[in-house]
Amino acid sequence: MRLVRLIGSRRRLMLILALTLSAPATAEAQWASVGDAARPARSGNALVFRTAQGVLSVSAIAPEIVRVRFSPGTRVDRDHSYTVVPQAPALQPARFETGARESHVITPALRVTIRHRPLRIAFADANGNSLDEDDPANGIATTGRTVRVWKRLRDDERVYGFGEKTGRLDKRGWKLGGYTYVMWNSDTFAYDASSDPIYASVPFFLVLRGGTAHGIFLDNTFRSSFDIGHTSEGLLSFGAEGGELDYYFIYGPSPRDVVARYTSLTGRMPLPPLWALGNQQSRWSYFPESRVRFIAENFRQRSIPADVLWLDIHYLDQYKPFTWDPDRFPDPAGLVGGLRNQGFRVVTIIDPHPKKEPGYGPYDSGLAGGHFVRNPDGSIYEAPVWPSSAPENPGPSVFPDFSRSATRGWWGSLHQPLMDLGVAGIWNDMNEPAVFATPTGTMPLNLRHDNEGQPTDHREIHNVYGMLMTRATYEGLQRIAPDARPFVLTRATFAGGQRYAAVWPGDATSDWSSLRASIPMLAGLGLSGFPFVGADIGGFVGAPSAELYTRWLQLGVFYPLMRTHTAFGTPDQEPWSYGSRHEAVNRRAIELRYELLPHIYTVMQQASTTGIPAFRPMFLDFPHDPRTHELDEQFMFGDSLLVAPVVREAATDRELYLPEGEWYDFWTGERQGGGATIRVPVTLSSLPIFVRGGAFLFRQPVVQHTGEMPGQPLRVVVYPASDSSGTLYEDDGRTMQYREGNVARRRFRQQRDDASCSVRVDPSEGRYRPAARSLELHVWWTGREPARVLAGDQLLPRASKTELEKLAAAWTVDGSFVIVKQPDRIEAMTVRVER
């Protein structure tokens, strides 16, 4: 690799050499450094620097967010982003200082120093502690249409995020010599630990150093790449093969702050419907109708809870989107309605490749509306995808240009008939976009896209094609049924796509390493703004052993999206497909999911308002404990549950790390001190979970689907602390009325000493009222049985466990817990347990 840099002085020859060694493997790159800048000009909330290579602006978006935008050449593109949501103007404007040698952008939280010759940027906190700096030797540089920046990477920094990526959680990958990642959405059937890129692109990462964090989001949709200390241990570089180097520096100081701010910039997951958090069953494909009904009946007859059945491409007529195969599915309305009566919802797949076939509605209307992607010569691009593999009358497809707003509107409205049938959600696949029979697996790069009225080629739209498809779908569903919460699942997406769809990481293999790999991958997605994620339970490619399926299902209890799915031609992969011993264990795992649904819903609701993911890496809650920084096989669900699923074949025990503090075995209630690695014995049915001291868990009895939840007793499990609280969120689970305050948010607080524990329930915020039910407080208790239990000033009777079921208000003892039962009046009250 040869490198030439446009610099004047001979003294910099050494730097050229350094850059030669550290530049990414872009063949024959001729890097032109950003060069020197004159004194900047002030423009609104930004300082603007001009060099021979381009224009750089540094602006304060918020006290903790600074945007750096380098436009190579003299042209500054229009300020347009598919990802960043419109920001309220910063309340506290930044201060700007310009000098001869350096200038500053100063916010209440950050001090940004821009050195002029050569142009280099450094970020520090308000006290001047360095957070991030351009590498002194290599700052920003361009070659051809590529623009890139090199930053210092310190020994004690860890790097996380990048969305849907393979490999370890810590992308520093110490033992592997640092990761390099490419952002280019790709259909990667049977990918493995070393595959990159895969389906989704999220050019965002988070750096953690001694408990303090910042993040960087590169707002550029072209193919981009990131080198995390791989080429040179002390350098982190990133850049894109077109467009601007437009990035946001996001300060913490905690990693949670970074994720919260990143998602304030790029948007948050909308609150999912409750049913979408239930257990879901899919395969490629369930057909015909009778097979779908058979699956539904098996769930109900075997008392294995489930909420959703999925229809993959075989429900379609010759794989044409928005059709039904008339032989396999002669009565879709009857099917969907019948399943609905059994408490099931149906999600159908829709791919972005209508068949080119005059007389087929979506083709005709798409053609008339000018909705399809075009070749450079203006003709419509055609290529083979699923409709070209149809048994009858196969033919090529055309592709909607989702970067055009009218096209998104048209595509969205095509969902009306599906919604009319009662279909509950839409599954968007193949939207990288995938194209058959080409070496690249996708569209040619020179195809034309509207790009919201500023036409461009596929290089710029490729990475957002899938996200814009989900936007079309989501907005279409919203328009069709304004009072229902849309549910969309997608394979391809881009930063910000969390606003429209849940994500599953495609076609993983049914093996143990893929099971394990799903943990850091989903954790990375969560850190990168996507909390609604889940891998195919059991794996997609191939057939899991009975043991692997069970272990995957147990982990799947804590996937925000809990869905079994498998490829065409694989053996049956239902919870009952592996014999009765496994069926019982599988049932129990799914039952646990339903018992925890009030909790899971609460944590997902929090994710929708804060951006903090439910399924999260340990370090997010324990950033100051270095022992949490590279845990790939355990995670937190919300801030109360530590989950260490069994992910190794034939395991007889499981090692896990409990951070400092008090922990309680979820299954036995036994107390366990933290700050240590422990080893717990396991059997096939074990799913090790530890609850943080002071936590409130919200549970219910097992139900067969979410439709059975109203009226179930609410179980609030109180794990000890001298003073702690927890908040339960509830609403109707379905409509948009939560936006108008039709919610019930209730805070529970315990105060405990050696003699007593009192639990105070605050009045509910919001006007939602759950159906009449009882409220059971399960108060962790050890030693002598309580002397008395009071609700308000009323003494409650002691009952046996069986008596308790019949009584409206009483208490009993069950293992490590005192259970206090009363009607749930949704009003303020205090329960007191006295020794």
What amino acid positions are annotated as catalytic residues?
429, 432, 507
Q: Residue 681, preceding bond cis, omega within 30 degrees?
A: no
What contacts 24+ positions apart, CB below 8 Å, involve 71-75? 71/244, 72/142, 72/145, 72/147, 72/244, 72/245
Output the smallest distance, CB 488 to ligand MIG, in A.
Answer: 15
Quote the CA–CA distance of 52 and 72 in Å, as a whole number.
9
- Applying CB under 6 A, among 313, 335, 555, 612 the residue interacting with ligand MIG is 313
Quote the CA–CA distance of 12 and 15 in Å, as a whole number.
5
Instruction: Give the nearer residue to ligand MIG in terms of CB position, either 164 or 429.
Output: 429
- Applying CB under 6 A, among 219, 227, 312, 583 the residue interacting with ligand MIG is 312
Q: Residue 285, preceding bond cis, omega within 30 degrees?
A: yes
Instruction: Give the nearer residue to ligand MIG in terms of CB position, either 540 or 637.
Output: 540
Output the smallest distance, CB 332 to ligand MIG, in A.
Answer: 18
Instruction: Give the nearer residue to ligand MIG in terms of CB position, either 430 or 477.
Output: 430
Secondary structure of 750-780 as H, E, C letters: EEECCCEEEEEECCCECCCCCCCCEEEEEEE
**Segment (H or E) for 525:** helix 512-527
Instruction: Give the nearer residue to ligand MIG in terms of CB position, either 213 or 430.
Output: 430
Q: Which residues of 445-475 are buried (b: 16+ CB within 10 A; e: fewer)?
A: eebbbbbeeeebbbbbbbbbbbbbbbbbbbb
Q: What residues from 540 to 559 belong to the interface with ligand MIG (CB under 6 A)? A: 540
Measured CA angle at 490 (ends 484, 494), to 5 deg: 110
Beta bridge partners of 72: 54
Output the smallest distance, CB 436 to ligand MIG, in A.
Answer: 8
Most distant pair of Cα atoms in the chain: their distance:
90
Token output for 528: 């990168």
Q: What residues from 461 to 500 belong to the interface with ligand MIG (CB under 6 A)? A: 491
The reply on whether position 164 binds ligand MIG by CB under 6 A is no
Output the smallest distance, CB 314 to ligand MIG, in A.
Answer: 9
Quote the CA–CA distance of 495 and 745 in Å, as a whole number.
30
The reply on whether position 132 binds ligand MIG by CB under 6 A is no
The amino acid occupying position 491 is R
Output the smallest distance, CB 396 to ligand MIG, in A.
Answer: 16
Output the smallest distance, CB 388 to ligand MIG, in A.
Answer: 12
Quote the CA–CA distance of 606 and 560 in Å, as a whole number.
13
Instruction: Give the nearer residue to ligand MIG in terms of CB position, either 235 or 313.
Output: 313
Instruction: Give the nearer residue to ligand MIG in terms of CB position, either 142 or 201.
Output: 201
Size of the site for ligand MIG (CB under 6 A): 11
Output the smallest distance, CB 312 to ligand MIG, in A.
Answer: 5
What does the per-residue mask of binding to ligand MIG show for 554-593, with x meaning CB under 6 A? -----------x----------------------------
- Applying CB under 6 A, among 203, 506, 539, 669 the residue interacting with ligand MIG is 506
Q: What residues from 420 to 449 belong to the interface with ligand MIG (CB under 6 A)? A: 429-430
Output the smallest distance, CB 285 to ligand MIG, in A.
Answer: 7
Output the smallest distance, CB 518 to ligand MIG, in A.
Answer: 14
Output the smallest distance, CB 567 to ligand MIG, in A.
Answer: 6
Output the smallest distance, CB 541 to ligand MIG, in A.
Answer: 10
Output the smallest distance, CB 362 to ligand MIG, in A.
Answer: 18
For residue 486, give the nearest of 271, 768, 315 by alpha carbon.
271
**β-strand pairing of 95-98 with 65-72:** unpaired
Instruction: Give the nearer residue to ligand MIG in terms of CB position, either 465 or 635.
Output: 465
Residue nearest to ligand MIG (CB): 284
Residues 423 and 347 sit within 8 Å (Cβ to Cβ):
yes
Residue 148 CA, chain-centre distance (Å), reads 27
Instruction: Give the nearer residue to ligand MIG in terms of CB position, either 430 or 641.
Output: 430
- DSSP result, 573-615: -STTTT-HHHHHHHHHHHHHHHHTHHHHHHHHHHHHHH---SE
Which residue reads 């381009």 in tokens?
54
Beta strands in 245-393 (DSSP E): 245-251, 279-281, 308-311, 345-350
**Segment (H or E) for 677:** strand 676-681
Count CB atoms within 10 A of the CB of residue 399: 26
Instruction: Give the nearer residue to ligand MIG in terms of CB position, either 218 or 503.
Output: 503
Beta bridge partners of 33: 141
Q: Write phi, then psi, for 358 (nearest 5 degrees).
A: -55, 135
Quote the CA–CA distance of 228 and 165 in Å, as a whole number.
13
Q: What residues from 110 to 129 belong to the interface with ligand MIG (CB under 6 A)? A: none
- Applying CB under 6 A, among 150, 184, 204, 284 the residue interacting with ligand MIG is 284
Instruction: Give the nearer residue to ligand MIG in terms of CB position, either 257 or 312.
Output: 312
The reply on whether position 357 binds ligand MIG by CB under 6 A is no
For residue 797, give Cα distances in angstroms to 56, 756, 781, 788.
73, 17, 18, 8
- Applying CB under 6 A, among 32, 349, 508, 818 the residue interacting with ligand MIG is 349
Q: What residues from 37 to 66 belong to the interface with ligand MIG (CB under 6 A)? A: none
The DSSP output letter for 92 is S
Instruction: Give the nearer residue to ligand MIG in terms of CB position, either 138 or 463.
Output: 463
Instruction: Give the nearer residue to ligand MIG in terms of CB position, either 45 or 570.
Output: 570
The DSSP output letter for 653 is E
Quote the CA–CA distance of 510 and 209 in Å, as a whole number.
36
Three-state secondary-structure class, residue 567: coil
- Applying CB under 6 A, among 164, 219, 325, 507 the residue interacting with ligand MIG is 507
The residues of the shown chain that bind ligand MIG, judged by CB under 6 A, are 284, 312-313, 349, 429-430, 491, 506-507, 540, 565
